[in-house]
Amino acid sequence: MSENKKLFKVSTFCRDFLSKTTVILRFCTLSKEQLKDYFEKPRINVPIYEKPERIYWVKNSKDFINLDEYDKMFHDEIVDFTKEIYDKLNYEQYCEIENVNTLILLFSEFDNYFFKCFKYILTKRPSILNDQKITIKELIEKQGDINLIIEDIAEKNALRKFNLDILLDDIIEKKIHNKFYKVYDEVFKYAKNTLTINHNLSDDLIKSLDFYKQIRNIYAHGDGTITRIFRNKIKKISSNINLNNFQLGNKFIVKDHVLTDIDFILTSITAKFDKALLKKYPELLFKEDKKISKYG
């Protein structure tokens, strides 16, 4: 390494994110490259399951599940049916499935990075949780009884030996999970205004992220078909989006360039946020001999 070259400083959480997403993308590329030759050559019929050797967890979980003869026969019929589908699978179908799986995995690792960051901050500064506001929606759901709005998990913990650390940990995790149900724009406003991480992420970058999150959602909760809900949500994200490119009932195909765009956006946002995070929490700086097992 050149003496003038500066080391790229990242947190332990960011290092983990970059490591996993690199593997995910490389695996996607390699698997498609290797299987391209396979699909172009005469197919060798390899059964998905061998009938005498049934699914592992069924065979080895007698106390958990017990298949009668009808169940076994039905399972064999499913195997025959899925083998027929398998034999007709083409390379384009495989690439589509592989790209969708990769997209979902990339977002999973992205959310996991921010989950770790937020949990670290809230665990270090639990007083932040004292400044939460009660929404009208919560009041209506609990019929105006503020006492019922206290975290549901607190009641569950009250039934066992009270442990403040466990209770706080549960509340923090629930708080973070609730945040990530919202659009990323609100997530990053929370990071800046409440967690005081001055990330300075651009609005355009966050809008691009929210757009691809909606793509992730129509596959995570469906088959990629464009719905009215999807169209309404992307229109709210940006008025510049041409809805003619997203016709109702069509399927959004995740092509290679989509993964390239998503990787760029996720990596850019993570790197920029991580830089701001390290200014506030320099102890998170990644070192080869450093582990943060509690949060990592």
Give pLDDT tens digits for 205-227: 999 999 999 999 999 889 999 99
- The Cα 173–Cα 177 span in angstroms is 6
58: left (phi over 0), alpha (psi -120 to 50) or beta: alpha
| CA angle (284, 285, 286) in 5-degree steps | 110
For residue 62, give both structure tokens. Answer: 């007698």
Does residue 296 lie within any of the structural domains?
A: no
* Best CA proximity match to 222, nearest among 249, 261, 262: 249
- Assess whether pLDDT exceeds 80 at residue 286: yes
The Cβ of residue 136 has, within 10 Å, a number of other Cβ atoms equal to 7
- Assess whether pLDDT exceeds 50 at residue 183: yes
Does residue 80 lie within any of the structural domains?
A: no
- The Cα 269–Cα 212 span in angstroms is 13
Residues found in the chain: 296
Please tell me the total count of domains within the chain.
1
Q: Tell me, what's the pLDDT at 208?
A: 93
Does residue 55 lie within any of the structural domains?
A: no
Structural contact between residues 215 and 252, judged by C-beta atoms closer than 8 angstroms:
yes
Does residue 107 lie within any of the structural domains?
A: yes
Q: Give the domain range for residue 209.
A: 12-41+90-284
For residue 224, give both structure tokens. Answer: 């990629």
pLDDT greater at residue 200 or residue 48? 200
Highest-confidence range of 26-40, 71-85, 124-138, by mean pLDDT?
26-40
pLDDT band at 161 (very low <50, low <70, confident <90, very high): very low
Tens of pLDDT, residue by residue over 77-122, are 776 777 777 667 788 888 899 999 999 999 999 999 999 999 899 8
